[in-house]
Structure 1
Amino acid sequence: MPLRFAPPTAEAYRYPLTIRHLLANVLLTAASREIVYRDKVRLTYADLVGRVGRQASFLAGLGVEAGATVAVMDWDSHRYLEAYFAVPMMGAVLLTVNIRLPAAQVAYTLAHAGAEVLLVHRDFFPLVEAILPSLPDVKAVVAILDGEESPLPAWATGEYEALSAAADPGFPFADFDENAIATSFYTSGTTGDPKAVCFSHRQLVLHTLAASGPFGASPVAPLFGYGDVYMPLTPMFHVHAWGAPYVATMLGLKQVYPGRYEPEMICRLRQEHRVSYSHCVPTILQMVLDAAARTGADLSGWKMVIGGSALTRALCVEGRRRGMVVVAGYGMSETAPMIAMARPAPDGEEQEERAVEALTAAGVPVPLVHARIVDADMRDLPHDGVARGELVLRAPWLTPCYVGNDQASADLWHGGWMHTQDIATIDADGRIRIRDRLKDVIKTGGEWIDSIHLEELVATARGVAQASVVAVPDEKWGERPLAVIVPDAGASPDLADLNAPIEQAIATGVITRFARLDRFRIVDDLPKTSVGKIDKKRLRALFA
């Protein structure tokens, strides 16, 4: 006889997966633990919970209702963390504004999102003053003076700390549909206007739970959990700082927020507070390594997840030499972002080369992620570590659309799988390696060359500090690879130096002979996108 379950009693609590419930245990387990902002502010979790309520109260006083959009323009701070919770918990939508975009694109994102209230750090007052006339939906602007004694701009409704101090910490947060939109932000696309992605409460709660899973379940560091001190080095406007502030807060960890990224300050905060876990793009890690070399800062034991761009072997090796635990992860703006995390080589392989190879892969999919590599007709390709196809995904936290862009949404979800536009391999252990972006693959002499692989080789050449490789037009071959390098101080590498590691790779059959360089350029610095990635679009435009 089949089991029959009675309907729940009328008083049984229906537990919605909303962001409010990530705070369920913090007052029990971490009420007195610290949340630090630079060398300016120290709060406890008890203070945080009160300030979350205060922010919601003063926003409600400014007319924010369920469904309204509140935009934040701030550096990484305790205020931003408060907004991560207060805004969605009151049923509004948090818009994390990419403050590194050009002014016209910032204005576009705010107008497109229909932002009604802005929380703005004083560093961005000139920008806001310039674009406010083009933002008719904005009802109020809250100025963040960040401890500075100065008059408010005429267009400011009030000052953040004053509004917070006068507000009620006991805001009556209520339950609502877990599928309500919690956050939105705009991708830093290389063509056209930025595209809006959005995420529901349910998606972010599931992402938080899954993101905390691989750290404890994987035998590889960086384990991220109780006892760690967390400091984000990915901007909080970019994919929720990779979701880690939600994980750290749910677990009640000590947190350190560095504000504007200043290398010496980051190293000082790391040492003073014994920061043990961070995440960043490769360019930020290089910045930290350089600052540590100048100041003598001890980096040993610092666990660092690298994403956004490929973690090169050279950068991983240098981090390990300094005593850091450096591993790769993989995700995108559209994926909230975590999809995969690196694992060690099979069978506990201890050889340094194998260890570095495993830890620089994009990683193994985290729980609840389905990953495939497919050809142009969506046919599955072998998981042999050799076959290359587009990586397509399913997970419960992927953005369902590009808001207001039906064609781009249809392209993103063609065939019922989310298309990453990344060319990847998957091996027999489920390890994903990103080989290139569809738009960055170089086609020369009828052969396809992975720009990522080639620039990893160039980065190991004598006298090279940083390297990127892009395709440039060629009358004979269609396209040829161009290496753009930043040399080591005092070094003058030539074409033979750059080709030396490429020749070795050609000799062993791991790369085609068409990858041999016949041109390169030396620059003082590689251009970066608004989130710190090397801007290959600009390089192609500069050197085409």
Structure 2
Amino acid sequence: MPKASESRQVRLTPSAYAYPLLIKQLLHTPLATCPEQEIVYRDQTRHNYWTFRHRIGQLASGLLEIDVGPGDTVAVMDWDSHRYLECYFAVPMTGAVLMTANVRLSPEQLAYTLNHSGARALLINADFLPMLAEMRDKLEHIDRFVLLDDTGSTAVPDDFVDEYENLLARSSPDFAFPDFDENTVATTFYTTGTTGLPKGVCFSHRQIVLHTLAETAALTSAPRQGRIHRDDVYMPMTPMFHVHAWGMPYVATMLGLKQVYPGRYAPDSLLELMMRERVTFSHGVPTLLQMVLSCPAAAAADLRGWKVVVGGSALPRVLAQTALERGIDVFTGYGMSETGPILTLAQVKTATPADTSHELDMRTRTGLPVPLVELRIVDEQMHDVAHDGKTSGEIVARAPWLTYGYVGDPAASERLWAGGYLHTNDIGVIDSQGYLQITDRLKDVIKSGGEWVSSFELEDLISQHPAVAEVAVVCVKDAKWGERPLPLIVLKAGEFADEQSIQKHLKEYAIRGVISQYAVPERVVFVDAIDKTSVGKVDKKLLRAKYQTAG
């Protein structure tokens, strides 16, 4: 009898280079094709990619000099800067692990994440020295501190090993970055989007390189809208401690783009830097885009040609329309800390009808899956539901860059990957064109009188009221209906609305069949501000607790 067929493995020539997918490989193209391209930090620093590579070597040599090497974890507390970009590369390229510390956590939470990560060294901006003083006696492993100082006037504390620029100046740029297993951990950070203590996620070199390639493929495959190309100028409006700044610094570096880093975010300074450096590609949360568009200097600014990916929260239709009217190519991106992060981008297909309303629908949806992402909408038994744009289920995913689990928490990791797919805990629908639309979070869904009410949909409709600046809808308990939606609304300066006008606004949509009558809330609460998480997302967990008994 003939033998059963067997798969055949590639036979490697002994001298062949296996080319591990390591972060260092992302540097080949920019250094070969555009080494004179600029990297800019505020109005303080401007250098080219050759200098960038030189400084990466110096940082690696400097870390080795202070006895930090492969397997060690190096934490960074800094604003978005050229230094942070150098750490994105130099630290993992030595075989060490980059821990991007969330500087917006409380000192207690931050100390927990630093301890949990096992960080041995901390590179810290002088702005955060008071925070370090508050948590210093709680730090269990860190015994090497390096000061990051923009002013040049901050004295290096006695127990610090040095100041960053001094460390680089005395260190050799000729560091030979080694090859090692591509599955080596490259980065770790902590998600605050879950209950309890922050959970750590980590990513390997292979995962980061594949995420970079897929994100690049998605952004460069678009013929016009939502496209990035080598002539773009990149500036993040997302903290670099948050999910690799959505992976874009790696993409921008691999493509050899001019990069502009703004330091601490302030709408006026972002706008000034954007105009001066002719920025064309950014990303951030809706709140920050709204702040930039609302600052006084924005009225006279020419924003045409600026491409902005909005993530972290749903992109309100009104904000998208305002941005489009200013000539901004705005669209949604979706992912989470556990997904490294990009899963979808809301790019508009070329065949989309030339209708402003329809185009707004496309741009504000959750989007199309990027290459290599397998996206499913499933019921409680993990069965696929219809892709009809109406039938909802939980969004689960597979991609080669998704985190394999939570650091030190195998039980939570198993729940995350139940059934062999990563569970996002987001509820959504997929339409016949493949567009995903999130309708709610599992923990935010509202079931009122046996009928589901989407908080996301209500937020989008309420935001279209002319007096509304910002809105969040939370679920509150109700003796009669079990649960009811409660809108929390911030009004625009100088505008007026009351509970009745908001209800009337929503009832008009109910009459048209856009929402059900059940979705119209009995109560509306007007607030001065809506609580946000450390990364600028609406903190619905806190809001639910705060307004559960609101009268």
TM range, smaller chain: over 0.9
Over 3 Å counting, the alpha-carbon distance change for 1:158 and 1:438 in structure 2 is same
Aligned to 1:320: 324
Instruction: Classify 1:447/1:160 alpha carbon distance in 2 versus 1 (closer, same or farther; 3 Å).
Output: same
Deviation at 1:509, TM superposition (A): 2.1
**Larger CA deviation: 496-505 vs 364-373:** 496-505
Counterpart position of 1:218: 222
The match for 1:241 among 238, 245, 254 is 245
1:420 aligned counterpart, secondary structure: strand
- Match of 1:46? 50
2:340 maps to 1:336: yes
Deviation, 1:200, is: 0.4
Where do residues 522-533 of structure 1 align in structure 2 (5 Å cutoff)?
Answer: 522-533=526-537
Aligned-pair CA distance for 1:445: 1.6
Q: 1:434 aligns with which of 435, 438, 443?
A: 438
Other-structure match for 1:425 = 429
Map of 1:486 onto structure 2? 490
The answer to whether the 8 A contact 1:310-1:360 is kept is yes
| Greater Cα offset, 278-287 or 293-302 | 293-302
Cα separation, 1, equivalents of 2:158 and 2:490:
45
Shift of 1:424: 0.6
- Other-structure match for 1:392: 396
- 1:500-542 Cα offsets, whole Å, 9 max, x none, are 3322221222212111121111112211110001111222222
CA shift, 1:10, in A, is 2.3
Counting matched residue pairs gives 544
Distance 1:252 1:6, change over 3 A: closer
How far 1:189 moved relative to its partner? 2.8
Call closer, same or farther: CA 1:294–1:213 in 2, change over 3 Å: closer
Question: Could you say what secondary structure the match of 1:272 adopts?
Answer: helix
* Residues 7, 469 of structure 1: alpha-carbon distance in 2 compared, 3 angstrom cutoff: closer
Q: Deviations over 1:466-505 (max 9, x none)?
A: 1111112222222221111111111220123212332222
Counterparts of 1:292 and 1:445 in 2: how far apart (Å)? 46
1:238-267 C-alpha deviation (Å, 9 max, x unpaired) = 000000000000011000000000111100
Alignment partner, residue 387 of structure 2: 383
The answer to whether the Cα contact below 8 Å between 1:495 and 1:517 also exists between their aligned partners in 2 is no
Q: TM-score, normalised by structure 2?
A: 0.96
Larger mean Cα displacement after TM superposition, 482-491 or 273-282: 482-491
Q: Secondary structure at the match of 2:351?
A: helix
Please list, as runs of the form range in 1=range in 2, the aligned pairs for 1:347-496 lying within 5 A after superposition. 347-496=351-500
Shift of 1:114: 0.5
- Aligned mate of 2:514, from 499, 510, 517: 510
1:330 to 1:294, Cα distance in 2 relative to 1, 3 A: closer
User: Helix, strand or coil for the counterpart of 1:348?
Assistant: coil
Deviations 1:430-456 (CA, angstroms, capped at 9, x unpaired): 110010001111121221111010011
Aligned to 2:170: 166
Deviations 1:241-300 (A, max 9, x none): 000000000011000000000111100111001000000011111111112556632222
Is 1:535–2:539 an aligned residue pair? yes
Q: Secondary structure at the match of 1:198?
A: strand
Q: Tell me which amino acid in the other structure corresponds to 2:541.
A: K
CA distance in 2, matches of 1:82, 1:297: 31
Instruction: Tell whether the 8 Å contact from 2:146 to 2:163 is kept in structure 1 after alignment.
Output: yes
Instruction: Letter of the 1:438 partner, please give it.
Output: L
> 1:6: Cα distance to partner?
8.1
Match of 2:147 among 122, 143, 152: 143
Q: In structure 1, what is the equivalent of residue 255 of structure 2?
A: 251
CA–CA distance in 2 between the matches of 1:123 and 1:313? 37
State the AA in 2 paired with 1:387.
T
Relative to structure 2, which stretch is displaced further, 290-299 or 389-398?
290-299
Does the aligned pair in 2 maintain the 1:462–1:498 contact within 8 Å? no
Equivalent in 284, 287, 302 of residue 288 of structure 2: 284
Are the equivalent residues in 2 in contact too, given 1:186–1:194 (CA < 8 A)? yes
**2:191 aligns to what?**
187
AA partner of residue 21 (structure 1): Q
Q: CA deviation at 1:132?
A: 2.1
Report the CA distance between 1:219 and its aligned residue: 3.5
Distance 1:173 1:244 in 2: 23
Judge which range, 520-529 or 99-108, deviates more. Answer: 520-529
Q: Does 1:311 align with 2:297?
A: no
Q: d(CA) in 2 for partners of 1:2 and 1:470?
A: 56
> Residue 454 of structure 1 aligns to which amino acid in structure 2?
L
SS at match of 1:423: strand
Asked if structure 2 preserves the Cα contact closer than 8 Å seen for 1:304 and 1:324, the reply is yes
Question: Partner amino acid for 2:503?
Answer: N
Q: Letter of the aligned partner of 2:126 in structure 1?
A: R
Which 4+ residue blocks in structure 1 deviate beyond 4 angstroms? 1-6, 292-295
Instruction: Specify the code of the residue in structure 2 equivalent to 1:410.
Output: E
Determine the C-alpha separation between the residues in 1 that align with 2:357 and 2:296.
Answer: 25
Q: For 1:322 and 1:152, how far apart are their aligned partners in 2?
A: 46
In structure 2, distance between residues paired with 1:500 and 1:35: 51
CA distance in 1, matches of 2:241, 2:229: 23
Closer/same/farther in 2, CA of residues 273 and 283 from structure 1, 3 Å limit: same
CA contact (8 A) 1:281 1:532 kept: yes
| 1:214 match: secondary structure | helix
* 2:81–2:261 Cα contact (<8 Å) kept: yes
Distance 1:168 1:39 in 2: 27
Partner SS, residue 24 of structure 1: helix
Shift of 1:145: 1.3
Answer yes or no: is 1:62 the counterpart of 2:90: no
After superposition, the C-alpha distances for 1:379-433 in whole angstroms (9 at most, x for unaligned) are 1101111100000000000000001011110110000000000001011111100
**Which deviates the most, 512-521 or 85-94?**
512-521
Q: Deviations over 1:135-188 (max 9, x none)?
A: 231120001111331211233221001111111101121100000000000001
Q: Say if 2:268 and 2:297, in contact at 8 Å, map to a contact too.
A: no
* Farther-moved stretch of structure 1 (230-239 vs 59-68): 59-68
CA contact (8 A) 1:215 1:221 kept: no
CA RMSD of aligned residues (A): 1.6
> Does the 8 Å CA contact 1:279/1:306 hold for their aligned counterparts?
yes
Contact 1:267–1:292 at 8 Å: present in 2 too? no
Query: What SS class does the counterpart of residue 395 from structure 2 fall into?
Result: strand
- Would the aligned equivalents of 1:390 and 1:421 in 2 still touch at CA under 8 Å? yes
Cα 1:194–1:6, aligned 2, differ >3 Å: closer, same or farther? closer
